[in-house]
Chains A and B, each alone.
Chain A
Amino acid sequence: MSNLSVNQAANWHLPQPYNTRHVLFALIALLILAVSGVRMEVPRMVHDTVQGVGYAVGLADESPVATGVKRIAESIWPLRISEETEISRIENFDRENLPWLSRVEVIETKMQRMNTDTLRLEETIESKEVLIKPLGYLSHVLLKMLETLEMALWGTLLSVLLSIPLAYFAAANYAPNRFAYNLSRSTISLFRAIPELVSALFLVLAFGFGPIAGFLALGIHGAGFLGKFYAEDIENADRGPQEALQSIGAGKVKTLWYGVLPQVMPQYIAYTLYIFDRNVRMATVIGIVGAGGIGLELKGRFDMFNFDHVGTILVIIFLTVFLLDQFSARLRSRIL
């Protein structure tokens, strides 16, 4: 018995998992990375980063990267929470009825002025009355963030509405004919191929500054994603229930509704949540090209070097994305 198994073992041959072809492929891949790495200035990145870290721990004398980061950090902190407005610039100011939580302060500023007679710089003290709203700027940013969230919501809604018919025609087993299938597939690819930022640029030209361009851009791009995902889920759904409904003559649409949709619903919700999540992040970015929301505020403050304002905006964006992540993770785990 044991003899037999020894003889049989001699017939077996188990080769090594790698051969020369694999090694050759690995070498070619390395070569490509090396050439591309030089083009991408990877060595300089490594050098500057190491220098920056060295500067931080006191090993290097100077580092342009560390100096830049330090300058930004110093100008961001403390974050801008309050809002000051010169009272002389407020029309119909009512000293008796101040807005909630706000107060009036007198601010004295030293100014260097050129005396035209003596042609000397003279120091003068100017005092002005300002209205201070302690949470003024924060609430302004929060409102902008809300606008961004609304843009994301409408963008998601639009992409869901667009992608349902697209997915129906892009699912090989439901498309009525080859033409509709190809048309729908290529529309989906086109939608996905245009980045939100680019379509928002053009939509701003068409609809003007504001959230319309923003959520249209988000909706179109999202429809490209959802259409593809939805269609593939329809194609991969269990055929049994569909066959059962087809065999009694329920028709395609009703078969899809009762044989497929309940099966794929959890995935659909998961994809849609992901697109919403993505839309919130993208909505902050496309604001930069004028499509409304917090991005517009960010761009304005950045261009005016108001880094303390920028800091507040960044913190709010971070908190929103973080909370949204927690929320959608919880929702997803409940559905799946």
Chain B
Amino acid sequence: MLKFNNVTKRFPDGTEAIRNISLQVPRGQFCVVLGPSGAGKSTLLRMLNGLSSPTEGEVMLDDEQITGKSVSRLRRKVATVHQQFNLTPRMSVALNVLSGALPQVSHWRAGIGLFPAALREKACRLLDEVGLTPEHLPRRVSELSGGQQQRVGIARAFMMDPAVLLADEPVASLDPRISRGILQLLHRQSRNHGTTVLCSLHQPELAREFGDRIVAVSQGRLVFDGTPAQLTDSVCEDLYHGTLNRHHEEPKAAVPVSVPSLEMAIA
């Protein structure tokens, strides 16, 4: 069980990325967080793996609060699939997947690259599950296509048998044809492994197709919480239209990285 209790996140420059959000996600649910770029989706997700901490309120994972002290222990239950894949370039597919289990490996084993047999078998099994072949093992990830890289990213995320999987715009840098395949894979993997998924997206049609539940964030506020059927076109229009207008009045987006992509979306 994942819980956000009245969470607010304020950045040092005064921007409020998250404003008083409360949310509960039961175990095994595939929850899509919908919203335009800069709405606060990333910040919401980053509070679960300790890359960001709430200014007010509390974030709970299995009835334990995520704080500075507990974060290093709780992190092991949370895996992340990133928008830019965040794989180590120039390193092999095999080592990238194995690096997902680094917290379980002793320093000296990690130092000389000798991973235990059980982990190596697991890496192979996961790579098979995400649809890669044994020929991919020694290849550098930078040689793979974007879709294949995200598959490696998903395999890496499942190395630690996470209770929660955070997918931060997992398909934003992939073309639409490949996006569906990746989300299908993510959906299937989380179902098979019983993982709770919090997946941020900005395409409503993909959210409807894959989410068990959809929550929408706009300007740091939770503006919608319901089933895919409840997410009608008019709700989506309100969500996006409203935000685009606000963007013109208030050019500073909550997450700076998202500004160019939003501008591209307008163009």
Contacts and interface: CB of A to CB of B under 8 A. Distances in A.
Interface of A: 238, 240-241, 243-251, 253-255, 257-259, 262-263, 265-266
Report the 10 A-B pairs with minimum CB-CB distance, sorted nearest first.
Answer: A249-B75, A240-B86, A244-B86, A250-B102, A262-B91, A247-B49, A241-B88, A258-B99, A254-B102, A249-B103
A259 B156 CA distance: 13
Contacts of A265: 90
Nearest to B103: A249
B196 interface: no
A251 B95 CA distance: 17
A243 B88 contact: no
B49 A245 contact: no
Given A240-B82, A254-B102, A262-B91, 9 more contacts: A240-B86, A241-B86, A241-B88, A243-B51, A244-B80, A244-B86, A248-B78, A250-B102, A258-B88
A251 B103 contact: yes
B84 interface: yes
11 contacts: A241-B87, A248-B103, A248-B160, A249-B103, A253-B107, A254-B102, A254-B105, A257-B111, A258-B99, A259-B88, A266-B90
Nearest to A240: B86
B230 interface: no
A105 B110 CA distance: 67
B55 interface: no
A151 B111 CA distance: 29
Given A240-B82, A263-B88, A258 B160 contact: no
Nearest to B85: A240
B80 A258 contact: no
Interface residues of B, number: 30
A250 to B, nearest CB: 4
A253 B91 CA distance: 17
B204 interface: no
Interface of B: 49-51, 72-73, 75-76, 78-80, 82, 84-91, 95, 99-100, 102-103, 105, 107, 110-111, 156, 160
B219 to A, nearest CB: 25
Contact of A248 (B79, B87, B107): B79
Nearest to B73: A249
Contacts of A240: 82, 84-86
Nearest to A253: B107
Contacts of B91: 258, 262
A111 to B, nearest CB: 71
A156 B156 CA distance: 37
B88 A250 contact: no
B178 to A, nearest CB: 20
Nearest to B101: A248
Contact of B78 (A247, A253, A258): A247
A240 B84 CA distance: 8
B82 A249 contact: no
Nearest to A238: B89
